Copies of this chain bind each other. A is one copy, B any other.
Amino acid sequence: MGKGRLEAFSDGVLAIIITIMVLEMKVPHAGAHGEGGHGPGLADLLPIFPVFLSYLLSFIYLGIYWNNHHHMMHTVTRVTGGVLWANLHLLFWLSLVPFVTGWMGENDFAPVPTAVYGVVLLLSALAYYVLQTVIIRSQGKDSLLAKAVGSDWKGRLSPLLYVAAIVAAPFLPWVALALYVLVAVVWLVPDRRIERVIAPD
């Protein structure tokens, strides 16, 4: 079975997830119910600013996932049922990102929403790890992806930082947020491991 449709479907879902998040940024109304009142001033943008920041953070996270998914799929030669479902499992957790992004942003990074945001990031990271493992197993030994991933320090570090952020969020939500930004920065550095191994092709 070809991987073309798997990539196309994943791209479609990721493109929709990354775009519908912006719908959480509601056009401001002075009267909240649109009772004649509108929100045409700069001050009306202020309450949306935290939503904008959380949107920016999640946009970067989803960009990283799309980017890494893109690289990982390059190494896939056969798509098994296990790969299909591990991929859907990853998309499921990522599909919850817009919800927790909106919740965290609308509540100005309050403790509980900030912790729940981390839980969704953690479960997405674990789902990514499961997908990676399923692909490596389907490739047998001498797996191209296994070589490319190597020690995978980023993949091992991120869940630890997410757990630290989830634990910190109820007391110090801004520390949790700083950890989320840190993980994003760590991953933003482009992942040259797979490019290096594939290069000779």
Contacts and interface: CB of A to CB of B under 8 A. Distances in A.
Given A27-B24, A67-B84, A112-B42, A15 B18 contact: no
Size category of the A interface is 35 or more
Contacts of A106: 27, 29, 38
Given A113-B40, A116-B45, A190-B81, A13 B19 contact: yes
Report copies per complex: 4
Contact of A12 (B11, B23, B34): B11
Interface of A: 1, 5, 7-9, 11-20, 22-25, 27-29, 32-35, 38-42, 45, 56, 59, 63, 66-67, 70-71, 74, 81-82, 84-85, 88, 91-92, 95-96, 98-99, 102-103, 106-107, 110-113, 116, 188, 190, 192, 195
The 10 closest A-B pairs by CB, nearest first: A81-B190, A12-B15, A40-B110, A40-B107, A16-B19, A27-B102, A63-B88, A13-B15, A27-B103, A38-B107
